[in-house]
Amino acid sequence: MSGDQYGVDLDALDQVVKELNQVIKDMGGPKSKAKDSTYLKPGSLGKGFKEESDLRDAHSEVKRDIETIVDKIEDLVDDFGKKSNQTMGAYQNAEADNKVNLA
């Protein structure tokens, strides 16, 4: 290639988009588990001591933090996937335009 030309592997970019979409699907398990499967009901750690309430409160706080982190990761991966898809579309359009111009 000359100095002002470039090449983009559209198949590889398409694979990135597919894999990112799969990551989003796969995150459904941890997301729902963090939200629904980590509840501590009152008394589950014992009864009659002050620390029981403190432990449940700390658990609830960490649970919220984990849910927030999972949401942020999911949003980040989704955003990157959308941007990768847009980039791939732009390269496909440019490639089609180049073929038309060369014809």
Tens of pLDDT, residue by residue over 66-80, are 889 989 998 999 998
For residue range 35-85, what is the model confidence (pLDDT) as tens digits?
A: 888 877 888 888 888 888 898 899 999 999 988 998 999 899 999 889 988
Alpha helices in the chain (DSSP H): 10-26, 28-36, 50-102
Q: Are 74 and 31 in contact (CB under 8 A)?
A: yes
pTM: 0.70
- What average pLDDT is seen over the chain? 84
Q: Does the structure show a pLDDT above 60 at 3? A: no
38-71 exposure pattern, b = at least 16 Cβ within 10 A, e = fewer: eeeeeeeeeeeeeebeeebeeeeeeeeebeeebe
37 φ, ψ (degrees, to nearest 5) = -110, 15
Domain boundaries, the chain: 10-39+48-102
State how far the alpha carbon of 6 is from the alpha carbons of 9, 82, 95, in Å.
10, 23, 11
Place of tokens 């060369």: 102
